[in-house]
Amino acid sequence: FDMVHRVADSNATVLLRGESGTGKTLVAKALHANSSRRKGPFVVVNCSAIPESLMESELFGHEKGAFTGAISRKKGRFEQADGGTLFLDEISEISPAVQVKLLNVIQERNFQRLGGSETLQVNIRLVAATNRDLEKAVQEKSFREDLYYRLNVFPVYLPPLRERRTDILLLAEHFLDKFSRENNKKIERISTSAIDLLMQYHWPGNVRELQNCMERAVLICDENAIKAIHLPPTLQSSDTVRTDSPTSLAAAVENFERELIIDALKKNKGNQTKAAAFLDTSLRIINYKIHNYKIDPKQYKGC
């Protein structure tokens, strides 16, 4: 997310990569919200949900009579996003024909509506996302190499939730607050038993699954705390939890703290003084924790 912050206010094309549900749409929204275009439109196109026959019209619009059923002029998503951000989700699903036209728009910053002759200028920030291996798609000739390089200006990899366990509690608290406000509920916290289950689960559906889990919990909770009984049965099944997971709140917090310290050391190339400043704590405490958790800072010097 540090990389996201750095690129947010530029016009560079960003390619978000990661498994389904890792939060690519949330990151795209964050890029827009933290850019100079924040007051402009944020337009989302799910490329996998639009039939191939309609994709060109959906993206670039059409003129009246351009094809059977085109009874009036229609603005495409590029026009709708003018002055803002266009987010193309599942970009790997577009056809070769649309890939050619998309490449031209990225290069020239102009296009024509389907069936039209007027050249339209656009001022947009383009963000694309995929859960596929685009390099493999390029090798297999199903995705244009020149388009790939145009999109891959600033790639951002979003690891699955199981690989960033320090985010689980932070995201759970965020969703608790969000859904409590939306449903006019005053749920103040997540109980110890619920935290254990959240930390133990392997989250195959990533951030999206966690979001759905917390929304369900808020809807059925009539108390001031989310408890284990409010979480989906899948989280309580023995074959869906990590066998090496913490079994108490103290262990969960220690695991969380250890990963935070490792993350800080990675970001600061093993420098303990900088890691302490990054975590807003003292060098003495960091050194104590590093010794206590048997962390070797030297192995992060090359990160």
Burial class (CB within 10 angstroms; exposed 0-12, middle 13-18, buried 19+) of 272:
middle
Question: What CATH number does domain 164-240 carry, 3.40.50.1170, 1.10.8.60, 3.30.1540.20, 1.20.1050.10?
Answer: 1.10.8.60
Question: What is 249-300's CATH number?
Answer: 1.10.10.60
Euclidean distance between CA atoms 197 and 232, whole angstroms: 10
**In a structure prediction context, what are the per-residue pLDDT tens digits for the chain, which is 303 residues long?**
567 778 888 899 999 999 999 989 989 999 999 999 999 999 999 999 999 888 999 999 888 877 777 788 889 999 999 999 999 999 999 999 999 999 999 998 899 888 888 899 999 999 999 999 999 999 999 999 999 999 999 999 888 998 888 788 889 999 999 999 999 999 999 988 898 899 889 999 999 999 999 999 999 999 999 999 999 998 877 455 554 444 556 676 777 788 788 888 888 888 999 999 999 888 888 888 888 888 888 877 755
How many whole angstroms separate alpha carbon 141 and alpha carbon 261? Answer: 43
Continuous H helices in the chain? 2-7, 24-33, 52-60, 77-80, 96-108, 134-139, 145-151, 166-182, 192-200, 206-220, 249-267, 272-278, 283-292
Q: Give CA angle at 9 (4, 14), nearest 5°.
A: 50
Return the DSSP state at 296: -
CA 209 distance to own-chain centroid: 13
In single-letter form, the type of residue at position 65 comes to G
CA–centroid distance for 248 within its chain: 30
Dmax (CA) for the chain in angstroms is 73
- Paired residues of 112 in beta bridges: 119
Q: Provide the terminal-to-terminal Cα distance of the chain, rounded to the nearest Å.
A: 16
Query: How far is residue 41's CA from residue 122's CA, in Å, rounded to a whole number?
Result: 13
Is the pTM higher than 0.75?
Answer: no
CA separation for the pair 32, 122 (Å, rounded): 17
Contact criterion met (CB below 8 Å) for 83 and 40 = yes
pLDDT at 116: 83
Class of domain 2-157: alpha beta
Kindly list the domain boundaries of the chain, sorted by start residue: 2-157, 164-240, 249-300
Q: Which residues contact 222 (CB under 8 A, 6 or more apart)?
A: none
Looking at residue 244, its pLDDT comes to 45
